[in-house]
Each structure stands twice: as structure tokens, then as C-alpha cells.
Chains A and B, each alone.
Chain A
Amino acid sequence: MRDFSYLRASSVDAAREAAALPGAMLLAGGTTLVDLAKCGVAEPETVVDITHLKGLDTIAVDDRGATIGALARMSRVADHADIKSRFPAVSEALWQAASAQLRNMATIGGNLMQRTRCPYFRDPANFPACNKRWPGSGCSAIGGVTRGHAVLGTSEACVATYPGDLAVALVAFDAIVHLGDRQIAVDDFFLLPGSTPEREHAIEPGEMITAIGIPASAAARRSTYLKVRDRQSYEFAAASAAVGIEFEADGRTIRDLRVALGGVATKPWRARAVEEALNGKVLEPEVVRQASLLAVEGAVDRGANHYKIELAPRVVARAILKMGETA
């Protein structure tokens, strides 16, 4: 690991100021930054430790929604009684992610900044070409082993999968990222790779995530996160779905459906076509299965990841039908 300087921030403003300097990176739980520094992917000149800042780890839930401080640890949010009751998909996405140890370390703000698990991205010694690491150098994954790579939102420059779970639930329920005074929708916070895969987040030097806001909704209250993976636990998603449903008073007609996908796209992927196809419809298994196929509209496979195009709609349909059973 390259040597670096360490600075312990004494305030949010001091952290922002220090992070704006060339080569500086914010350090929270360390589960991404320290890992990538060991891989030789991250080469910070200075790490700015924000974990000693006070007051950024509060979790507040009321009838309008939840506000989660950037330094709240994943485990605390997952186990929070009001998050579990009002935003079950958020709690489920969190406790199904990583391991108990990592969830005790990783913060909510840092979670949104986690990088892809693309093995080519993570291995600069053996695969120098990576447009994400080194813009213009090419993509080692295209033409390589692509079983874990994305089928949605890809470009010829990058096919790396967005690996997280939490943000999939957040994008389904229109969460807001607070960057101090600036606010941005989670869906807009994550960027498609296009021709600039090195830029993953709509965050500028000197900005810092301070909180996540999730508006309350009936769909969020009746929600789930279904994660399908190669192992039962402690694994990234092969395909996952965050789903929430609000029914009309008849308890059968869908008023407000939310669907987002993980493990198959280059960013947390809101499946609005599925939502539009089912809003106003009575929940019937065959109708749900047909509509769920719209989740992978426009998908492009790279060979070994073709299975994701079949798997993702099934995961979506299963999650919707599971939520229907609770009606």
C-alpha cells in the first residue's frame, strides 16, 4: 500500500476543505478505501478521517420520512425499529449486505461511495487497462470473463456492475442525498458510465455526503428486498430487487408500485416500465410475470452474464408476488 498522510477532521467544514485538496480522500468506515488502497486501486496522498466527527450518525424517523446521518453504521440502520417497520426493504437490503463485521464499520455515506467489484478494476497489476481507473486505457472486462458484469446501463467503455444493495432500495423510494446544503435525488447521484466511467457520482471535490433522506410512503412501508446470489449469505447479488406496493382500498388493485434492480446494472436501476405496466392493475401472477420482463428492456449481455437477463425478471416477479401475499 502506498504511503499517505493522515488528517483527523475536526468539523464538517474542515473535512470538506481538506478533501478538496488534490490527492485527498475522505475516510469513514474504511471498508472500501483501505481495501482499494491495498489493491493499488486507490492511491490517496492524504486520508481525511471523518469518523471522529460528532452528530453525523443520528437516525430520525417521523411521519414525513427518515433522515439518516452519513456516519450511521449499516448495522445500526438495519436494526433500527422504525426503519424496520416503515422501510423494511431498506433494513433487509442492509442486513443482507456484506458481513456483520463490515456492517459495523461501513457508514451509510460511505456505502453510497463504494466502488464496483469488477475483478479487472480491482487488479491493476495484472490488468492495466480499465477506463474507470485510467480513462482511455480500454476495458479488460469486455472480451474477458463477464459472469458478474452488468447487462443494463453499460457502454463500450465499461460494463462494471454496481455492487451495492442499500442504494437499490433507496432509488425505489425516491431517497435524497444531502451534500450539506445541496440535495440531489439518489437516482441522479449515481451516473451511467457512458464515455466517462471514471465518474460514478454527482459529487464535486470539496463536497461530502452529510445525510440520506427517505420520504415516507405506503409503498415503502409494504416493501421487501429480495437478493439472489451464488451463496446463501455474504455475497454480492447475482440479481436483486427492491419492491414496494401500495394497494387501492380493495386490497388487490395496485395503486403505487416501486421496483428497482441490483446486481445487473451499472447503477442502482429503477424499473419504471414495470411500475407503469402494473399500476392500476389487479395483482395476478401471470400479469406480474409478463410485466416483470420489462425490467430488462434494452439489456445487452456479454456472453457469460446472459443468465442475468433471465434471472432479473424472475426475481422482480417473485418479490412483487411476495408483497401481494401480505395484502
Chain B
Amino acid sequence: MTSKTRTPIQLRINGHRHELEVEPRVTLLDALRDHLGLTGTKKGCDQGQCGACTVHIDGQRVLACLTLATQAESRDITTIEGLAGEDGTLHAVQAAFLEQDAFQCGYCTPGQIMSAVACIREGHAGSDEEIREYMAGNLCRCGAYPHIVAAVRQAAVEAAS
């Protein structure tokens, strides 16, 4: 039951089942990027401070860098790769980020978008002030914040109509 060695686990990611072998200390972030090649989820600070690694577990936005991969077994994991439709149609939040030009270098963008999707779903995107508060866990070193707020606002209005 307890083991430090690589242990087989199953992860359900974007509706697909993946089997991999990881040490217990491997984070979900490293499992996604290094073991499964899902590099859309970004490693920023790797300390739970920047939000670049935001994914959804059972529909809730969380940080993959502070989640052990093993802990996420039997949960539903959604990453940025799982947002668009099967035919490639962008999620409304992805489309809004494009329309509002809500990024510069783009490194924080997958985390921003995953966070924004959840923020709108939680009902925490009712005003610019509320968007800023509830998106505070996603840092953008380029400082694209005004456009990010505009994109979240646009997607929230679309979701409500």
C-alpha cells in the first residue's frame, strides 16, 4: 500500500483514461507535462503562487503544481486541451481572449482561461471588480490585465444571455 517506487495509476483527463507510472511525489503538473505530453498546462512558479498551472478537478479550478498526481486518481481532470469542441470550435472564453487580445507573451494564458471558465461558472464574474478579485490568483507578468478583465466580462455576458 505504501511505496516510494513508481506506482501505476490511472488518470481521467479530458474524458480520456490514461495509465502511467509515477513516484508518489510527482505532481499532477509534472505528470501532465512530462509523462503525458499535455504541455498546454504551464509551469510558472511551481509553488502555488502564479496560477499558470490551473486545471479543473471535478469541475473546480485548482493548481496542478500543488496536487499530487496520485491524489487525482478517480477524479475528472480537465486541462486547456479539453476546452475546445471535438471539431476544434473554441470555447467561448478562448474566443473572447482572442477577440479582446487578452495576452502578450501567452505563457499565463492557459491558466488564465481555465481560471476564467471556472470564475464565470462560479458566478464570480458579475462586475469588473469581482472579476479582478476572483482572477487574482492568475498573474500576468506582461501586465495584460485590462484586456483579460474585458475578455472575462465578455464571456460572462455571453454565458448569461
Contact = CB atoms under 8 A, between A and B. Distances in A.
B63 interface: yes
B137 interface: yes
A234 B140 CA distance: 14
Contacts of A100: 61, 115, 118-119, 122, 124, 134-137
B136 to A, nearest CB: 4
Interface in B30-83: 46-48, 51, 54, 60-63, 65-68, 70-71, 74
Given A4-B4, A5-B4, A99 B51 contact: yes
A102 interface: yes
Contact of A105 (B62, B136, B138): B62
A127 B105 CA distance: 35
Interface stretch (A30-38, A169-177, A179-187, A206-214): A30-38
Contacts of B2: 5-7, 46
A27 interface: yes
Contact of B63 (A39, A105, A234): A105
B99 interface: no
A47 B119 CA distance: 31
B141 to A, nearest CB: 15
A98 B136 CA distance: 9
Nearest to A105: B62
A1 B25 contact: yes
B48 A102 contact: yes
B132 interface: yes
Interface residues of B, number: 37
Contacts of B3: 5-6
Nearest to A28: B71
A22 to B, nearest CB: 13
Given A101-B61, A104-B61, A104-B62, A37 B132 contact: no
The prevalent SS among residues of A at the interface is mixed
Question: Which of A29, A47, A100 has the most B CB atoms < 10 Å from its CB?
Answer: A100
Given A5-B2, A105-B63, A234 B136 contact: yes
A233 B48 contact: no
B101 interface: no
Contacts of A104: 60-62
A3 B6 CA distance: 11
A3 B23 contact: yes
Contacts of A52: 74
A4 B134 contact: no
A51 interface: yes
B1 interface: yes
A75 B62 CA distance: 11
A165 interface: no
A99 B65 CA distance: 14
Interface string A4-15: 111110000000
Given A100-B61, A233-B136, A38 B115 contact: no
Interface of A: 1-8, 27, 29-31, 34-35, 37-39, 46-47, 49, 51-52, 73, 75, 79, 98-102, 104-105, 232-234
25 contacts: A5-B4, A5-B24, A6-B3, A6-B7, A6-B68, A7-B2, A27-B71, A30-B68, A38-B46, A49-B68, A49-B71, A52-B74, A73-B60, A75-B60, A100-B134, A101-B51, A101-B54, A101-B63, A101-B115, A104-B61, A104-B62, A105-B66, A232-B133, A233-B133, A234-B136
Interface of B: 1-4, 7, 23-25, 27, 46-48, 51, 54, 60-63, 65-68, 70-71, 74, 115, 118-119, 122, 124, 132-138
Q: Which 5 A-B pairs have the closest CB atoms?
A: A99-B137, A6-B24, A233-B136, A5-B2, A234-B136
